[in-house]
């Protein structure tokens, strides 16, 4: 029968806990902005190229089709905050209080309403 090394198990458990804590700290340091959607808070990380990518990374249910500002399917209501369209204004119709997450990036913390 194999002898179980209790000290080794504790060391492994502690190492895994420390790695998890370090990963969480790294993630918090990389957060550029936060997006609030209903009761969820979504981090905007450097690797997210659009607001839509931030929402999808957090498993927020969104609609999208062209992902390039043409169809308007991704349209959501901007309650507060600032965005900009790095490739110019999108072609799809956008109301005064609406944005197209597929082709914009956050310039501040955002609050969104998604139907």
Q: Which residues of this protein are in contact with ligand FES, per CB under 6 A?
A: 64-67, 69-74, 92, 100, 102
- List the structure tokens of 103: 């082709």
What's the min distance (Å) between Cβ of 92 and ligand FES? 5
What's the min distance (Å) between Cβ of 76 and ligand FES? 10
Of 17 and 49, nearer to ligand FES (C-beta) is 49
What's the min distance (Å) between Cβ of 52 and ligand FES? 7
Of 33 and 50, nearer to ligand FES (C-beta) is 50
Of 34 and 67, nearer to ligand FES (C-beta) is 67
């Amino acid at each position: 029968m194999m002898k179980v090394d209790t000290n080794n198990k504790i060391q492994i458990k502690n190492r895994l806990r420390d790695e998890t804590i370090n990963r969480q700290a790294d993630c918090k340091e990389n957060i550029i902005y936060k997006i609030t959607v209903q009761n969820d808070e979504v981090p905007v990380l450097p690797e997210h190229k659009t607001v839509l990518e931030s929402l999808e990374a957090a498993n927020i249910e969104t609609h999208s089709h062209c992902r390039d500002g043409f169809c308007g399917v991704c349209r959501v209501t901007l309650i507060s905050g600032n965005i900009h369209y790095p490739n110019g204004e999108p072609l799809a119709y956008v109301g005064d209080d609406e944005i197209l997450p597929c082709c914009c990036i956050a310039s501040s913390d955002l609050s969104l309403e998604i139907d």
